[in-house]
Amino acid sequence: MKTATAPLPPLRSVKVLDQLRERIRYLHYSLRTEQAYVNWVRAFIRFHGVRHPATLGSSEVEAFLSWLANERKVSVSTHRQALAALLFFYGKVLCTDLPWLQEIGRPRPSRRLPVVLTPDEVVRILGFLEGEHRLFAQLLYGTGMRISEGLQLRVKDLDFDHGTIIVREGKGSKDRALMLPESLAPSLREQLSRARAWWLKDQAEGRSGVALP
């Protein structure tokens, strides 16, 4: 990710949401962040009758955030994400001075203990799944990966010789290594063999697809 203090180039896009996407991609934010920020800015614009956001100020931002908290009753993390999206949009896209936006209150996160499933509950849940869906759930449970991280795994990220899984550009755009559950190694090898067979078949039939690994 490029540093926030580096000079930003002029935007080539015309529409504000396209400008937002352009800036996010220039700064190498993740695809999920791009999707979330675009959705929040779009919701903000629609909330105020499709007015151009350059004409909106602190009172309009506060009204939108208040609506999210009191009417939509979003969680604290969702509320913070919406605020982060607006901070980014006004600061990096509209290049607006933000003293008023920085002063808008952030809700305090609730101190609730996480709900932890018992081993029996985990077994019961996995019992409802089959095939690759069961294997994926087992992999998430056994490694602690996020769903998005599991979906982005590539063949090259599984190292059976060293018993590790490489998660690339996880939270905070950082790579990290996880232990590959030994009990899942045979099932993962079988899944990789099936995936490779499908890939070879598609290649033989001239179908386009992702490259392996």
CATH at 139: 1.10.443.10
CA angle 177, 180, 184 (to 5 degrees): 160
The verdict on residue 209 lying in a domain is no
Instruction: Tell me the per-residue pLDDT of 140-174, one tens digit each, with 9 for 90 and over.
Output: 999 999 998 898 899 899 999 999 999 987 666 67
Of residues 77 and 114, more confidence is placed in 77
The verdict on residue 41 lying in a domain is yes
- Confidence (pLDDT) at 164: 93
Q: What's the whole-model pTM score?
A: 0.59
Q: Mean pLDDT in the chain? A: 86
What range does the domain containing 40 cover?
Answer: 16-102
The distance in angstroms from the start CA to the end CA of the chain is 25
Mean pLDDT for 88-110 is 72
DSSP string, 32-72: HHHHHHHHHHHHHHHHTTT--GGG--HHHHHHHHHHHHHTS
The verdict on residue 212 lying in a domain is no
Instruction: Tell me the per-residue pLDDT of 4-39, one tens digit each, with 9 for 90 and over.
Output: 456 788 899 889 999 999 999 999 888 889 999 999
The verdict on residue 5 lying in a domain is no
CATH of the domain at 90: 1.10.150.130
Q: Which amino acid makes up residue 97? A: D
Q: In whole angstroms, give the CA distance from residue 208 to residue 206.
A: 7
The verdict on residue 34 lying in a domain is yes
144 shares a domain with 70:
no
Q: In whole angstroms, give the CA distance from residue 86 to residue 173.
A: 21
- Confidence (pLDDT) at 77: 87
> 31-45, 79-93, 107-121: which has the minimum mean pLDDT?
107-121
